[in-house]
């Protein structure tokens, strides 16, 4: 029993220390010019950056496969007065920064983070984990992609950590979709069985 308590305490300490040390991305305005600087002082892998106007037009996009420290300066002097968004998206989360350009300066209005479910595929089995901070109901579905037929549905109520294992070892050959719905967000993961 003491060994179990020690192990749990060690895991909790490890989790807290890595959470504290993790470097968060940041967007700051440049005081000397009409620009913003995006920095991420951590391993940034398989991440897309998109700078978008209020009508949904992409002004700039980049895809980073792997880099330790990332910094990008956006010169916004030629852009019209209005609202813009910088969207940073990877497999774990999506961060949207709201930016307002006025005649005189640039304002960073806020940041919205959307945590995504994490999928791990291993020998015909898919493991899904989702951090549901709001504890809103989470619906999980599995569809046959070819027919659109619903094969599985489960609702998780009032759970912060949602976990599910899907066994596709004996499934028929084909394409399947795992759909996770929480609040206004919907996430998709494709599964190919051969």
Name the pTM for this structure.
0.72
Judge whether residue 11 has pLDDT over 80.
no
CA–CA dist 34, 53 (Å, integer)? 16
Mean predicted confidence (pLDDT) in 173-178 = 96
Residue 55 DSSP code? T
Residue 172 DSSP code? P
Domain with CATH 2.60.40.3080 in the chain: 2-115, 118-193
Banded pLDDT at 140 (limits 50, 70, 90): very high
CA–CA dist 168, 189 (Å, integer)? 14
Banded pLDDT at 18 (limits 50, 70, 90): very low
Mean predicted confidence (pLDDT) in 128-139 = 95
Query: What does the pLDDT look like over 47-80, one tens digit per residue?
Result: 999 999 999 999 999 999 888 888 999 999 999 9
H or E element in which residue 178 lies: strand 174-182
Judge whether residue 3 has pLDDT over 70.
no
Instruction: Say what the pLDDT of residue 174 is.
Output: 95
CA distances from 11 to 4, 7, 17, 114, 161 (A): 11, 6, 10, 26, 17
Q: Does domain 118-193 have CATH number 2.60.40.3080?
A: yes
Instruction: Say what the pLDDT of residue 17 is.
Output: 41
Banded pLDDT at 14 (limits 50, 70, 90): very low
Answer CATH for 2-115 from 3.40.50.2000, 3.30.2320.30, 3.40.140.10, 2.60.40.3080? 2.60.40.3080
């Amino acid at each position: 029993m003491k060994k179990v308590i020690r192990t749990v305490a060690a895991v909790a300490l490890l989790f807290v220390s890595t959470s504290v040390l993790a470097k968060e991305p940041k967007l700051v305005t440049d005081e000397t010019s009409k620009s913003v600087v995006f920095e991420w002082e951590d391993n940034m892998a398989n991440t897309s950056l998109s700078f978008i106007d209020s009508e949904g037009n992409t002004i700039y996009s980049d895809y980073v496969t792997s880099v330790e420290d990332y910094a990008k300066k956006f010169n916004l002097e030629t852009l019209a007065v209005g609202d813009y968004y910088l969207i940073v998206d990877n497999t774990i989360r999506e961060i949207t920064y709201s930016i307002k350009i006025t005649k005189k300066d640039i304002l960073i209005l806020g940041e919205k983070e959307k945590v995504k479910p994490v999928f791990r595929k291993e020998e015909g089995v898919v493991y899904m984990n989702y951090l549901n901070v709001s504890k809103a109901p989470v619906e999980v579905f599995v569809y046959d992609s070819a027919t659109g037929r619903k094969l599985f549905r489960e609702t998780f109520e009032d759970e912060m950590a949602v976990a599910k294992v899907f066994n596709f070892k004996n499934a028929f050959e084909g394409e399947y979709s795992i759909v996770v719905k929480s609040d206004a967000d919907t996430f998709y993961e494709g599964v190919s069985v051969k």
